[in-house]
Amino acid sequence: MNYAIFLGILNLILLSRLRLMLRDDGITRSDLWVMTIIPLLGLPFLEVSLGWILLAFYLVGNPALIWMLEKRKKRLNRNRILMLILHIMSVAVLCSPIFELSANELAANLLAGINVVFLPGIAITDGTVTAVYLFIFGFLMVLNETNIILRYILKLVGLKSLGKTEEVDQKEYNTGRIIGLLERTFVFLFVLLNQFAAIGFILAAKGVTRFKDFESRTFAEYVLIGTLLSALLAMGIAFLVKVVL
């Protein structure tokens, strides 16, 4: 398998899925257009072949499935997780030796240009490109995909989103979402840097700022379980990236 192409295509798909971050009630038509166009940006850098044609059909066709699944609001997060799994499996098959997707001359020229302008005197190898793509993949997973998985797990254990209750208004809910995003980002980076003590400091700081709110048992359960699951998911992705690197 060409891992650089595999990760490159997946990264474009994950980048497009950032539109889901604030779409708790489903995406809009403009979101769908963005999610369709961004993954297609990788096609000009690949050699035209049977695999290229199948990939093009897949990227053009899957928005219809996305739109259909996004209408099922009661199972929104589950459907988004299923789409992520479908993306990973489909791109993995298309990047396997069966179809032999490969980069073309345009990709080589672009890489050479980046090398000359930004990294003169440093040779960029295929391994370097794969490592960078892997880091970006982990970062994008932490930004959005872990939040989708987290929300689905919380729903499975019976903890309703506080954004839809009287205890927390929408502004505070969105603030909490941003805090969670930053928390996962820092955990991801600190694991890669072997700064495990800093992770404990972040979790402790969050607990201190929320201390008074813990008087509400519902709020305390939601925040504590959500924080631990969020950190666990971010650490898991970071360890996976670290092992592969």
The band of 164, judged by pLDDT with boundaries at 50, 70 and 90, is: very low
- The set of residues, in sequence order, having a beta carbon less than 8 Å from that of 22 and lying 6+ positions away, is 174, 177
Query: What's residue 22's pLDDT?
Result: 79
Token code pair at residue 144: 């959005």
Residue at token pair 């990236």: 241
Query: What's residue 173's pLDDT?
Result: 66
- Residues 29-53: tens digit of each pLDDT: 999 999 999 999 999 999 999 999 9
Q: Which helix (H) or strand (E) holds 223?
A: helix 217-244
In the chain, where the domains are located: 1-112
Closest to 219 in 3D by CA, of 161, 156, 157 = 161
What's the mean pLDDT when you consider all of the chain? 84
Average pLDDT over residues 123-152: 88
Query: What's residue 86's pLDDT?
Result: 95
The band of 218, judged by pLDDT with boundaries at 50, 70 and 90, is: low
- The set of residues, in sequence order, having a beta carbon less than 8 Å from that of 226 and lying 6+ positions away, is 150, 154, 159, 180
- Residues 49-99: tens digit of each pLDDT: 999 999 999 999 998 899 999 888 888 999 999 999 999 999 999 999 888
